[in-house]
Amino acid sequence: MTAKKDIFSGSIRVHPAKGLRGEVSVPGDKSISHRSVMLGSIAGGVTEVTGFLEGEDNLSTIAAFRSMGVKIDGPDNGRVVIHGRGMDGLTEPEDVIDAGNSGTTTRLLTGLLSAQPFFSVITGDSSLRKRPMKRVVEPLAKMGARISGRSGGNLLPLAITGSKLKGISYRTPVASAQLKSALLLAGIQAEGETIIEEPERSRDHTERMLALFGATVKTEGNSVIVGSTKKLNGCKIKIPGDISSAAFFMVGALITPGSELLIRDVGVNPTRTGIIRILKKMGASIEVLNKSGQRDSSGEPVADILVKSSLLKGVEVSGEELVPAIDEFPIICVAAAFAHGRTRITGARELRVKESDRIAVMSRSLSSIGVNNREEEEGIEIEGLGKGEAIGGEVESHGDHRIAMAMAMAGLRCVKGVGITGASSVDVSFPGFFEILSRVAVR
């Protein structure tokens, strides 16, 4: 196994600013980057990717496929070339696959490897080893997969003995793109049809990319249907900027008076733009400009986003509203902290099993910078400071990249700023985050 970066290390202090001004581009979409390597590896021919996110999570996915015999060039300035080996061309890895901090690598690979004719073991860092895997292991077992792991197959390491799978019809207990995608990647290798129905529709990047590689994917309401797929064809993929990374700068600009920031080339797939809808409901000035059709970026719509500082108001955010903004919970909490009035987020139980328990960690982090809030079982209630400043203080990222970036943005509105330990975690999804922040922050 290769050594992973220590994402629990590093500390940094973010000081108050007089605005975020200018233009930024954010790195490529993390979800789409993972999928490009996975599908490219099992496709026939070459897949050429540009705009690939060179974050730690995506490097874990590249390393995993290299260990199964796939030749992958790059990443070099966002360019990755994958020499696909076809649906039957992966080889048994010689060692345990280390997914690092990445839930997406783990869950999608578990689905994909369940149908490959060899033995594999997946593990990850201390955070990933606490995250629930039963949600994928159980339905995969119904398809005929043979997977075992700690805690009755719920925790990493997982050991997978590849077998012949049968399609199933399955209603997922949670809206989860990782779960849906694991079943789709197993489904295309299974005999017969696989039908997956979700309670709400999670991000659909796997469906879009499977279609791009030539698979037949049907979507009906909240259901997705795939059949046994003989061949995927390598292709060119241009990955748009990650809206989940853009979200930090959107909120940073909104809460810091004197801001006007243009964020270029952001993916605006409707299953991901919940953050724009929630912030607009809070009264944000956000314009989506130059929206492209879907061809330019390989099946994904792209736009520029212009944000101006706004006095936000507290709102109610429901579980359904949160599904297309699932990764934005920490930064929505920061927006709420500097809004006028109370914000209540409900139906957010899934946030307890992300890279950290994001409900508990955000509640504690906001308290330590002087923002009153109340943690609830499935959400949080936050008393916004309106035009006031927070005192600021010290917080710990718990190795969670999105906590570190959300609290960094809070620092822009704190008298003493915010000191963050575990700041290296930003490299999981946004290498260069602090450099970009220093460039656009007006002091």
Stretch that binds ligand S3P, among 154-162, 174-182, 271-279, 435-443 (CB under 6 A): 174-182
Q: What's the distance, CA 302 to chain centroid?
A: 17
Nearest to 217 by CA among 194, 191, 240: 194
Q: What one-letter code names the amino acid at 172?
A: T
Q: What one-letter code names the amino acid at 117?
A: P
User: Which three-class secondary structure state does DSSP give residue 119?
Assistant: strand
Q: Are 37 and 65 spatial neighbours (Cβ–Cβ below 8 Å)?
A: yes
Q: What's the distance, CA 438 to chain centroid?
A: 24
- Please report, as residue ranges, which positions from 345 to 374 form the binding site for ligand S3P (by CB under 6 A): 350
Q: Which is nearer to ligand S3P, 350 or 381 (CB)?
A: 350
Q: Out of 105, 181, 373, 397, which residue is the one contacting ligand S3P (CB under 6 A)? A: 181
Residues 8-27, one symbol each (x = binds ligand S3P by CB under 6 A, - = not), give --------------------
For the bound state, the minimum distance from the C-beta of residue 275 to ligand S3P, rounded and expressed in Å, comes to 13
User: Residue holding tokens 């890279």?
Assistant: 355
Calculate the alpha carbon distances from 136 to 37, 116, 198, 210, 410 in Å. 20, 16, 14, 19, 35
- Please report, as residue ranges, which positions from 194 to 213 form the binding site for ligand S3P (by CB under 6 A): 202-203
Residues 321-340, one symbol each (x = binds ligand S3P by CB under 6 A, - = not), give -----xx-------------
Binding flag, residue 61, ligand S3P (CB under 6 A): no
Q: Out of 116, 172, 178, 256, which residue is the one contacting ligand S3P (CB under 6 A)? A: 178
Q: Which is nearer to ligand S3P, 382 or 428 (CB)?
A: 428
Distance from C-alpha of 164 to C-alpha of 161, rounded to nearest angstrom: 10
Distance from C-alpha of 343 to C-alpha of 315, rounded to nearest angstrom: 5
Q: Which is nearer to ligand S3P, 31 or 256 (CB)?
A: 31
For the bound state, the minimum distance from the C-beta of residue 415 to ligand S3P, rounded and expressed in Å, comes to 33
Size of the site for ligand S3P (CB under 6 A): 12
Q: H helices within 161-315, ranges in order? A: 177-187, 205-212, 243-255, 274-281
Nearest to 375 by CA among 358, 359, 386, 388: 359
For the bound state, the minimum distance from the C-beta of residue 356 to ligand S3P, rounded and expressed in Å, comes to 12
User: Residue holding tokens 């594999």?
Assistant: 120
Longest C-alpha distance within the chain, in Å?
Answer: 61
Given the residues 327, 357, 400, 427, select the one marked as catalytic.
327
| Residue 13 host element (H or E) | strand 11-14
Residues 118-157, one symbol each (x = binds ligand S3P by CB under 6 A, - = not), give ----------------------------------------
Binding flag, residue 425, ligand S3P (CB under 6 A): no
Beta-strand runs (E) in 61-204: 71-76, 79-85, 97-98, 119-123, 146-149, 155-161, 169-171, 194-197
User: Residue holding tokens 């002087």?
Assistant: 370
Q: H helices within 257-357, ranges in order? A: 274-281, 319-322, 329-337
Q: Residue 6 catalytic?
A: no
Stretch that binds ligand S3P, among 177-185, 252-260, 307-315, 369-377 (CB under 6 A): 177-185
For the bound state, the minimum distance from the C-beta of residue 350 to ligand S3P, rounded and expressed in Å, comes to 6
Stretch that binds ligand S3P, among 1-9, 72-80, 156-164, 173-181 (CB under 6 A): 173-181
For the bound state, the minimum distance from the C-beta of residue 178 to ligand S3P, rounded and expressed in Å, comes to 3
Binding flag, residue 176, ligand S3P (CB under 6 A): yes
Q: What one-letter code names the amino acid at 301?
A: P
Q: Which is nearer to ligand S3P, 16 or 139 (CB)?
A: 139
Residues linked to residue 356 through DSSP beta bridges, in sequence order: none
Output phi, psi for 108, to 5 deg: -65, -40
Nearest to 131 by CA among 97, 112, 104: 104
Q: Out of 61, 101, 104, 229, which residue is the one contacting ligand S3P (CB under 6 A)? A: 104
Q: Which is nearer to ligand S3P, 299 or 384 (CB)?
A: 299
Q: Are 342 and 384 spatial neighbours (Cβ–Cβ below 8 Å)?
A: yes
Q: Which is nearer to ligand S3P, 31 or 67 (CB)?
A: 31
Q: Which is nearer to ligand S3P, 350 or 427 (CB)?
A: 350
Q: Out of 14, 28, 31, 162, which residue is the one contacting ligand S3P (CB under 6 A)? A: 31
Give residues in contact with ligand S3P (CB under 6 A).
Answer: 31, 104, 176-179, 181, 202-203, 326-327, 350
- Kindly list the catalytic residues: 327
